[in-house]
Structure formats: C-alpha cells, structure tokens
Amino acid sequence: MRDIRGDLEERAEKQQKTKLNLVPIRPGGCKPPLFWVHGDCTDDFLKAYLDPDQPLYALKHQSRHGEVALYTRVETIAACYLAQLLTVQAEGPYFLGGYSFGGTVAFEMARQLHTKHKSVALLFMIDPVCPGTRLEYPCRAVESYYHHDLLHHLNNIFRLKPQQMLNYVQLRVKGKLKQKALKQKAFLQKILINIYVTIGRPIPYFLRKRYILKIYFDAIVQYAPKPYAGRAVYIKSEQRSGEHVTQWSRLILGRLDQHEVADCDHKNIKKNPYACCWVKTLKACLMWAQEKKQDGSHLI
C-alpha cells in the first residue's frame, strides 16, 4: 500500500508541475496584479469590469485536468499557490481575493505572507467558507446503509487487474443509476473516484467536481487557522448565516469591512446581477489600496 501511495504522489507531483494553478487572465497593466482564488465564472467577468490597466491572475482548482490532488489541507493549498504567486510578484504589497473556499484559501495566503513579513494591500473574500464548518457531503447519509454492499464489491474488485476493475465498476454503476436516487448515485460515484485514484487513471470530467469538493469539505473541517494581523473585506450573501461574520471577525485582528448582497444565496453571488454589486466594491477597494501604496501610507 505504501508503494502505491508513493507512486501516486510522485505522479501527481509531476502533473502539478506541468499544470500550474496560476493562470494569467490579463497579465499586462501598470498596476499591481490581483490574484483571484477559485473565482470560476468570475475570472472573465472581472477581466471585463476591472480597469484595463489592472493585471489579473486566476488561481485555478487542483485536479481540473483529472489528476490526483497533491494538497489536501488549507495550509498546504495556500502554500502551493503562494509559491506560484511569487514567481510573478516577488515583493509586496499583494492584492488577494477569492470566492467560497477560495476566499478561505486567500485568507490563509495573506496570513502566511504576513508571517514572512510581506505586506498585503488587500484581502477581498466573497462569501468565504468559515473554518471548522461541518459541511454535509452528499453521499454520507447513505454510507452506512451501503457498507455491506461496498465491502462485497471491494472484495471482488481487488482481485481484478486495473482495466477489469474499471469495467466491473462502470457496469454496476450504470445498472445502479437506473434504479437508485441521487444520494445513492453520489455514493457510487465516490466508489468510482476511489478506483480511478487507486489505479492512477485520470478522473473523468463528470466526477472531478465531486472529487475536489470532497477534499475541500474535509480540509475546511480540519482547518484551525491562526489570527491574521491585517484587515479584510467580507462580501456576504444575504442567506449566509451572520455567525460566519462573527467567527471571521475573531480571526481578523484588523478591521473587517462587511458588505451584504441582498436577495442572494452562496451559489448565485458569483453571477449577475448580484456580481455587479460586489465588483463595484472591489474596484473601490483596489483604488483605495493602490493609492495608499503610492503615497506610502499604512497598508492593509
């Protein structure tokens, strides 16, 4: 088992080196770059709405090409992203932002930069996932119910060769999906993901979101962040619990500016017309922080 795990980690590391998370959206411009974490559909949206002189870099999800995720903790994901960020901008001040789990990673990136005595001019978080939140993974409710069936199938699977493993699982998944409900489908997809990871095959496109979200769910529960000495901007969807803001305020020792987007939930806050609300705030914050940088005033 140790040899298999070592082989998978080595393969994943090689894939990560050739498929970096840092992607230039608009590398040109005279202003300091904005590094945007897990913005998804907002990457191109920001390119259209921000100042043409504003460089923009996106930090994309791991495993978007089907490779095994090399980093599974908030701290290590943030450190990986920072290593790539520093190849573009070696010295601060830095401008960071992100959506959902990406906002949480951006927070940890800012915290790690502070420990390196590097200045952060802006930390902009859109509905960030609160550290320690126990998110419910869709398939957990049925895991115990199917435990017996799982053991039976695993016993059969691990007697087979790699290609036979896939054939076995795919055949049974196709049959089960015709009979079972959504939660059962999620559980079967989890089994299929585990098979692809074990035999070192790229995870199919339709399974990648579930795979990476499971990693994020586990990472956020295990995350025990240290306080951040700077300040931050928190964009909150109306349906997000106010308790999240309270918990973030305990972690951010500087000023926490909160802005709420009305009639909006976590999923839709990154889409128009709701995104137009917070992008105006982002533009104003960028302008303010850049002016502070130019006149030598205290940065965030």
Say if residue 34 is in the same domain as residue 177: no
pLDDT of residue 299: 47
Asked if residue 208 belongs to a domain, the reply is: no
> pLDDT tens for residues 93-115?
999 999 999 999 999 999 999 99
Reported as half-sphere exposure (CB side, CA atoms, 13 A), residue 230 has a value of: 28
**In the sheet where 256-261 sits, what is the strand order?**
22-26, 56-59, 34-37, 94-99, 120-126, 232-237, 256-261
Say if residue 181 is in the same domain as residue 282: no
pLDDT of residue 191: 82
Query: What are the pLDDT tens digits along the chain (300 aa)?
Result: 445 445 545 555 554 444 689 999 999 889 999 999 999 999 988 999 999 999 999 999 999 999 999 999 999 999 999 999 999 999 999 999 999 999 999 999 999 999 999 999 999 999 998 887 655 444 443 344 344 455 555 566 666 666 666 676 666 655 554 555 555 677 778 888 888 888 888 999 989 999 999 999 999 999 999 999 999 999 999 988 888 889 999 999 999 999 999 999 999 999 999 999 999 999 999 999 988 765 544 444
pLDDT of residue 294: 57
pLDDT of residue 130: 84
Say if residue 64 is in the same domain as residue 128: yes
Class of residue 27 by CB neighbours under 10 A (exposed 0-12, middle 13-18, buried 19+): exposed
Say if residue 74 is in the same domain as residue 147: no
Range of the structural domain that residue 115 is part of:
2-132+223-295
Say if residue 41 is in the same domain as residue 148: no
Domain count, the chain: 2
> pLDDT tens for residues 149-178?
555 555 666 666 666 666 766 666 555 545
